[in-house]
Amino acid sequence: MGEIIKKHKTSNEYLLETDKKIREIFTMIKNRAPEAIVNTEKKEYSCPGNVPIKHVFIGDRQFETTTGLYNFSENGCLYYCPTCLQNYNSEVSLKRHVLRCPKLISGSIKVYEERNLTVYKIEGRSNIPFCQALCVLGRCFIGNKTLYLDIENYNFYILFEGSSFVGYFSDEHFNEKHNLSCILILPDHQRKGYGTLMVDISYYFKEGTPEKPFSAGGAKLYNKYWTAKVNKYLVEHSNQYKSIKDISEGTNMTIDDVIIGLEHLGIDLHTQNEFVCKTIPCRFIDETRILK
């Protein structure tokens, strides 16, 4: 018996056969469920993706952002739980979370309390997802903020007014030079002295100077704080001559920061040599709060 020779189909024959099968399947679906046919020309789809964030919601509080942060979101918004500050990229996801929210920040300890103000400290490595969500929030308002993923070696101090989240600051745990890496006070709680309070706390727990460069708001905050702190020290030692080093040791500030404070007070260091004395009115003394 001779060998059977199979006839191979050409590429055109394969295409025609495939096209015929596709048409049959499409006709079958159309006849069985015409309502399932999607009109792709009329219907618009919203697919989550890496988009610029324009609004941040914390509970019923809404904030506009202008830093150009890109994040995974379906509508250009980020939603934060007002209680535990976990973030979500859709309102539906947040509502699901609220039903099972633990109502606390895991790993946090209370380090400051005054009237209705409370500050909690949390180490980055103890709750990485929470601290990353906090950094994303900071990035929404601070254009030059870069910290996001490498947060294990940072401490975070979170301020609440009653149950309302006010802001936070962070510092690098093993960095002996700097006592503050980033500070954020939300827009609806600014101009209440909370920035000064947070800077006070940073100096209370650690010597040093804040990381630079500053944002415009950060520069304004620290220039005012350093000026007030130096002024208070000079008023308390008004009958004594004090060197810049004395002021530095007495205020827990670096010499460079003391010099900035003195210059804003109008004291000419070129005529005072290494010593300065108090000769101007104490107009700044009530603008600072010293942590007891």
Catalytic residue among 17, 41, 64, 211: 211
Spatial neighbors of 180 by CB under 8 A, at least 6 apart, are 169, 170, 171, 199, 202, 208, 210, 211
211 is catalytic: yes
C-alpha of 239 from chain center = 44
CB of 151 closer than 8 Å to CB of 115: no
What would the two tokens of residue 130 be?
């929470």
Rounded CA-CA distance 186/164 in Å is 11
Q: Is the distance from CB of 259 to CB of 276 less than 8 angstroms?
A: no
CA dist list (Å): 200 to 72, 180, 292: 35, 11, 10
Angstrom CA distances, 155 to 107, 152, 165, 185, stand at 11, 8, 17, 17
Catalytic residue positions? 211
